[in-house]
Amino acid sequence: MTTADRQGRLLAISDLHIGYAENRALVERMRPETDDDWLLVAGDVAETVADIRWALETLGARFRKVIWAPGNHELWTHPSDAVTLRGVARYEHLVELCRELGVTTPEDPYPVWEGPGGPVAVAPLFLLYDYSFLPAGCATKEEGLAYAHGTGVVCTDEHLLHPDPYPSREAWCRARVAETGRRLAEIPAELPTVLVNHYPLDRHPTEVLWYPEFAMWCGTRLTADWHRTHRVAAMVYGHLHIPRTTWLDGVRFEEVSVGYPREWRKRSEPPGTLRRILPMEVGSGDRGVAP
Ligand SMILES: [Fe+2]
Ligand SMILES: [Fe+2]
């Protein structure tokens, strides 16, 4: 092994969905490449607090640092979960769980990756969505939802992701975007960033969705310029269950999801493979596709 091989790596994964036994088995096998690796977990670990705890505790014991951003599935108040908290109270409960486990959350100071490809500030984000990625021909959330109900493609969030005490998920989203924008502006100007969010900051990754109306539950137009305004070295996201690399305005977008067994069984890459974010893989500039 060369000296370079022993240097740490900034790795990423999302959409572990360990409610599926086959996905839990993937997490049981996940290991760092070096003792100094960090792991970014971009949401959708599981639906129950017990499963979320198991996964983050398991990974936290193996990686030098684990950094988590919530997905919509963690925020569901699922009938199978003993924890019945809703909305902000549930999110805060998960943040407390992470602090107990030593896992970094969007509420903590942004750690700085000093390894190869660094230094960069690594910012886990919790931004949610606001229905502004509307289907073609729709001008409002109401029109978009009416269209989605017509096609039958309606996200389960409508039933299980409660915004309490906010009046709506879009109101919660707007508050998160405003507060997060303030936090990001405080990062020293000399530091590039790696932004980690369950949803893409720009709409382009949703353009390949099989059901385009699902984009309403996939982000917000409020962050459309963030990849340009926050010195972003890489934007890491999941949720779409379409793992790939794209480039927009010279910025790398990495969709790092595992997804459901019925999805990953069809792929050629071994399931549960961790995506290297930094240092950038040689030739990865050619790997992605333009949006
Ligand atoms: Fe997911
Ligand atoms: Fe998701």
Domain ranges of the chain: 3-281
Q: Which ligand is nearest to the CA of 71?
A: 2
β-sheet bridge partners, residue 246: 253, 289
* CA 141 – CA 174 distance, rounded (Å): 15
Ligand nearest to the backbone CA of 73: 2
Q: Mean pLDDT throughout 229-251?
A: 98
Which ligand is located closest to the Cα atom of residue 74?
2
Q: What is the pLDDT of residues 149-201, one digit of tens each?
A: 999 999 999 999 999 999 999 999 999 999 999 999 999 999 999 999 999 99
Ligand 2 geometric centre to CA of 4 (Å): 35
Give the Å distance between the CA of 12 and the centre of ligand 2. 15
Rounded to the nearest whole angstrom, what is the distance from the C-alpha of residue 239 to the centroid of ligand 2?
A: 4
Q: How far is the CA of 217 from the centre of ligand 1 (A)?
A: 12
Residue 261's pLDDT is 98
Output the CA 239–ligand 1 centroid distance in Å. 4
The arithmetic mean of pLDDT across residues 78-96, rounded, is 98
Percent of the chain clearing pLDDT 70 (strictly above):
95
What is the β-pairing status of strands 120-124 and 193-196?
Answer: parallel
**CA pair distance 271, 269, nearest whole angstrom:** 6
Say which ligand is closest to the CA of 155: 2
Instruction: Report domain 3-281's class.
Output: alpha beta
Q: Cα of 17 to ligand 1 centre, how many Å?
A: 7
- pLDDT score, position 1: 47
Using the predicted structure, report yes or no on whether residue 291 has a pLDDT greater than 80.
no
| Ligand whose nearest atom lies closest to the CA of 219 | 2
The predicted structure's pLDDT at residue 181: 98
Give me ligand 1 centre to Cα 119, in Å: 30
Cα(141)–Cα(168) distance, integer angstroms: 12
b (16+ CB within 10 A) / e for 190-216: ebbbbbbbbbbbbbebbeebeebbbbb
Q: Examine the pLDDT at 2 and tell me if it is beyond 90.
A: no
The whole-number average pLDDT for the span 93-104 is 98
